[in-house]
Structure 1
Amino acid sequence: MDTDKTTTPKTHHTPTLFAQTYFHGTKADLKIGDYIQVGFNTNYEENRVLKHIYVSATLNTAILGAELASGTGRERIYLVEATDEIEDDPNVTDKKFPGNPTKSYCSKHPFKIVGEVAVWHGNSAEQIKKMKENLEKLREEGKNIILD
């Protein structure tokens, strides 16, 4: 584990022969066999390229990711496998929630799309509207920061 004097130790997970499958929520139109990788605009801020790809081991977290993603495409939940080490997502781990209850992770390395969740139940339009309003308020206050 990596540690420094100002943060909680990071947990690293390395893919094995029996790979863990994660979820990635987005509006990007991708195909099985494609790789989700750094170098493209983030789902949540225009004109910002992140250094990490973010995934979750829980469907509910990926659903939120798809519902809150910017763009006009259809909301999608992809099943993905890591191609190299991943670590706990610093945006939620011990910052907003103790531990990692959302089972959110990130990696600088690509994730391979191995499937897509075809049927899932999202939040109500009213809930999404409220969440987007809250995110906009945080942006206006300069508090909507993605640690990357």
Structure 2
Amino acid sequence: MNQPLDEGPFFHGTKADLREGDLLSAGFRSNYRPEVVMNHIYFTALRDGAGLAAELAAGETEPRVYVVEPTGAFEDDPNVTDKKFPGNPTRSYRSRAPLRVLSEVTDWTRLEPEALRAWKERLAAILADERGEIIN
């Protein structure tokens, strides 16, 4: 993997209640395709991008955003980079190495209910399309 040219800070959105020092790792089911066990852990350099991921994550608990630190090499996330957007405008990354939680962020922008519903409908349509596969 080539090291992307982004120094962060980096964020991870989830519905998990985490603490400083916790490690997030690959090997869990995808939030978007539960039949897929992920080979990578995903993160972004955009606080609100992590917030969107948290709001779309599986589960009924409150979405949370954490500042994270990669513990190893990482690469551009091919699920949203050149496959769907030229370059990496979402500043989204993935790693096989764990992410260390540094702190929780509370000043990210929550989606209005209508916007969240639209995102969930869009995601469902993408996943219903056989071409909406996850590059794992």
Alignment of 1:111-122 (within 5 A): 111-122=99-110
Q: Which residue, 53, 71, 92 being the options, matches 2:80?
A: 92
User: Runs ≥4 in structure 1, deviation > 3 angstroms?
Assistant: none
Distance 1:109 1:77, change over 3 A: same
Task: Calculate the TM-score normalised by the size of structure 2.
Answer: 0.90
Task: Calculate the TM-score normalised by the size of structure 1.
Answer: 0.83
Would you say 1:147 and 2:117 are equivalent positions? no
Aligned to 1:64: 52
Structure 1 residue 29 displacement after superposition: 1.6
Structure 1 residue 86 displacement after superposition: 0.6
What is the RMSD of the two structures over their aligned residues, measured on CA atoms? Answer: 1.8
Structure 1 residue identity aligned to 2:38: L
Any conservation in 1 of the 2:48–2:108 contact (CA below 8 Å)? no
Q: Which runs of 5+ in 1 are unaligned?
A: 3-10
Alignment of 1:24-43 (within 5 A): 24-43=12-31
Any conservation in 2 of the 1:83–1:111 contact (CA below 8 Å)? yes
Structure 2 residue identity aligned to 1:48: V
The structure having more radius of gyration, on CA atoms, is: 1
In structure 2, C-alpha distance between the alignment counterparts of 1:138 and 1:43, rounded to whole Å: 14
Structure 2 residue identity aligned to 1:105: Y
In structure 1, C-alpha distance between the alignment counterparts of 2:83 and 2:36, rounded to whole Å: 22
Q: Which residue, 72, 86, 95 being the options, matches 1:107?
A: 95
Aligned to 1:12: 3
Structure 1 residue 43 displacement after superposition: 2.3
In structure 2, C-alpha distance between the alignment counterparts of 1:78 and 1:13, rounded to whole Å: 20
Any conservation in 2 of the 1:33–1:114 contact (CA below 8 Å)? yes
Any conservation in 2 of the 1:85–1:109 contact (CA below 8 Å)? yes
Structure 1 residue 141 displacement after superposition: 2.3
Any conservation in 2 of the 1:80–1:112 contact (CA below 8 Å)? yes
Aligned to 2:116: 128
Seq. identity, %? 44
Q: Which runs of 5+ in 2 are unaligned?
A: none
Structure 1 residue 47 displacement after superposition: 3.7
